[in-house]
Structure 1
Amino acid sequence: MSIPVVDFAAYGLSEKDVTDEQMHNLSKQLETAFTEVGFVFLKNTGITEEEVDRVMDMSKKFFLQPDELKQPFSRKSFANNPNHGWVSLETERLNPSQPGDLKEAFNTASLHPDMKWPSGAVTGFQEIQTHFFHRCKELSLRVLRVMAHSLGLDPEVFLSAHRFIGTDENGSTLRCLYYPSVNREKVKEGQLRCGEHSDYGSITLLFQSSEGLQVRRRSGEFICAPSIPGAVLINIADLMQRWTADQFVSVVHRVLLPPVGDSSTRQSIAFFVQPDDEALITCCDSSNKYPPVKAGAYLIERFNDSYGRN
């Protein structure tokens, strides 16, 4: 199993419309990828390498500051959206049975006008994050439309449940991730840069600066996901697997520690697409394979697992 690469140029962000034939071809390719692998690389999406680099450069400036300058922007310090903000090293355990992950993150989870944003050494942080959030949102909606087509569904089945992306009624999050160099003498047993997990929502868009991500095959072994310049890696998340009654598969993945002697850092940007908080997710084939669940409540449960229940 390797991760398929699909040319999305026909429905990239610069295209206003897509022909029936192009939609048919795209939907067939995504259906194969998401039913067999759970992951796909999309190239020619309209999101450029320059845009990605701008976000990574700005977020790295933020992460390289002393912790006391990042502390005022900590996750859970924003009343209207507790998932917004900085996540410090080892705070999150995506595999709750193992030690905290060796990564930092900044979650752009709210675009509310009253939010407080980093400034000073990171001038332009809000503008760059917000612009990229909207670009990812637009691409996500196009991918969801193709996915609905591949299942023979009305696109509104998915799109109507994602109307509030970018508001506090939807948990979609643009997440900048920074993996500092690893001190082997301090690593705890079982600790990884990012523990084994599956994502929570509908789909995830991932932009990565280097290799390191591993994806679990159906046989149970992990394969390394390459880093393809200019391509976005998209995967199915758990609510979408429920929604499609297991037609699309949400796959476990992780980020290992670098090899011994490798002191390099790693960066990535993930856009986690969530249905609206009040969206009721039921199996779209009308089966009762999974009980109905509200997207917002489901997300909170998953956060409780990865951040600890307190």
Structure 2
Amino acid sequence: MSIPVVDFGALSLSKEDVSDEQMHHLSQQLKTAFTEVGFVFLQNTGITQEEMDRVQDMSKKFFLLPDAQKQSFSRGSFPNNPNHGWVSLESERLNPRRPGDLKEAFNTASLHPDIKWPSDALTGFQEIQTSFFQRCKELSLRVLRVMAHSLGLDPEVFLSTHRLVGTDQNGTTLRSLYYPPVDSEKAKEGQLRCGEHSDYGSITLLFQGSEGLQVRNRAGEFICAPCIPGAVLINIADLMQRWTSDRFVSVLHRVLLPPAGDSQTRQSVAFFLQPDDEALITCCDGSTKYPPVTAGAYLIKRLNDSYGRS
């Protein structure tokens, strides 16, 4: 299995219209990728490598601050959105059966005007994070439109349940990830940089600074995902698999420890698109393969599993 690479230029963020022929071609390519692999690389999306570098550069400046300085922006300290903020090393376990992941994160989960940002130490941090959030939102909605078309559905099936992205009534999160240097010999037994997991919501957009991600194929083997400059790696998440009665597949992925002697850091930025909290997710083919669930309740359960709360 290899992850398909698709030219998304016809629906680039710089384009206003797409022809029926272009939409049909794109929808067939995405349908094949999402039904057979669960992942796809999109090129020519309109989000440039320079934009990706800008958000990663600013994020790294935050991660290199002393922990004491980052502490006041910790996840869980923002009343209007408990998922917003800094996630310290080993505090999250994306595979709850393993020790804490060897990574840090900053979650931009709220754009509320009262949210506190680390702007005193990092001029431009808020502007760069929120601007990139909006760019990812726009691209995600275009991808949803193509996905609905590929299944012969009205685009509103997906779009109408993502009206509140960027508000505190929707759990969509832009997540900057930082994997510091690791001494593999000192890591705990079974510990990874990022444990095996599938994502929770609709789709995920991933911007990688280097290789390291592994994706499980249909044979149950983990394969290395390449890093393609300028491309966006997009995968199906669990609610979308439920929504489409398993036509689109959400697959496990992970980030291993680096080889012994490798002291390199790793960075990535992920945009986790969620349906609105009150959206009721039911099988769009009318079946009862999965019971109905509200997106917000499902997200809370999955986050509690990752952070060790029942």
- For Structure 1 versus Structure 2, the TM-score category normalised by the shorter chain is over 0.9
Contact 2:184–2:258 at 8 Å: present in 1 too?
A: no
Aligned residue number for residue 65 of structure 1: 65
| In 2: Cα distance, 1:106 partner to 1:259 partner | 26
Partner of 1:102: 102
Superposed, 1:151-300 pairs within 5 Å as 151-300=151-300
Shift of 1:34: 0.1
| CA positional deviation for 1:186 | 2.5
RMSD: 0.6
What SS does structure 1 have at the residue aligned with 2:131? helix
Q: For residue 129 of structure 2, what is the amino acid of its counterpart?
A: Q
Q: Which residue in 2 is equivalent to 1:138?
A: 138
Contact 2:243 2:281 (C-alpha < 8 Å) held by counterparts:
yes
User: Identity over the aligned pairs, expressed in percent?
Assistant: 83
The answer as to whether partners of 1:215 and 1:225 remain within 8 angstroms in 2 is yes
Q: Which amino acid aligns with 2:56?
A: M
Mapped contact 1:207–1:233 kept (Cα < 8 A): yes
Q: Distance in 1 between matches of 2:262 and 2:147?
A: 39
* Unmatched segments (≥5 aa) in structure 2: none
- Is contact 1:205-1:271 (8 Å) kept? yes
Q: 1:122 deviation in Å?
A: 1.2
**Deviation string for 1:125-181 (max 9, x for gaps)?**
000000000000000000000000000000000000000000000000000000000
Is structure 2 residue 101 aligned with structure 1 residue 127?
A: no
**Counterpart Cα distance in 2 of 1:214 and 1:231:** 17
| Residues 239-294 of structure 1 deviation map (CA, whole Å, 9 limit, x = unaligned) | 00000000000000000111111100000000000000000000000000000000
Contact 1:49–1:229 (Cα < 8 Å) also in 2: yes
Counterpart amino acid of 1:36?
Answer: E
Query: Which aligned segments of 4 or more residues in structure 1 are displaced greater than 4 angstroms?
Result: none
Q: Deviations over 1:50-96 (max 9, x none)?
A: 00000000000000010000000000000000000000000000000
Counterpart Cα distance in 1 of 2:175 and 2:201: 14
C-alpha separation between the residues in 2 aligned to 1:185 and 1:259?
10
Q: TM-score, normalised by structure 1?
A: 0.99
Would you say the 8 A contact 1:192–1:255 is kept in 2? Answer: yes
Amino acid at match of 1:198: S
Residue 308 (structure 1) shift = 0.8
User: Normalised by the size of structure 2, how large is the TM-score?
Assistant: 0.99
CA distance in 1, matches of 2:233, 2:253: 12
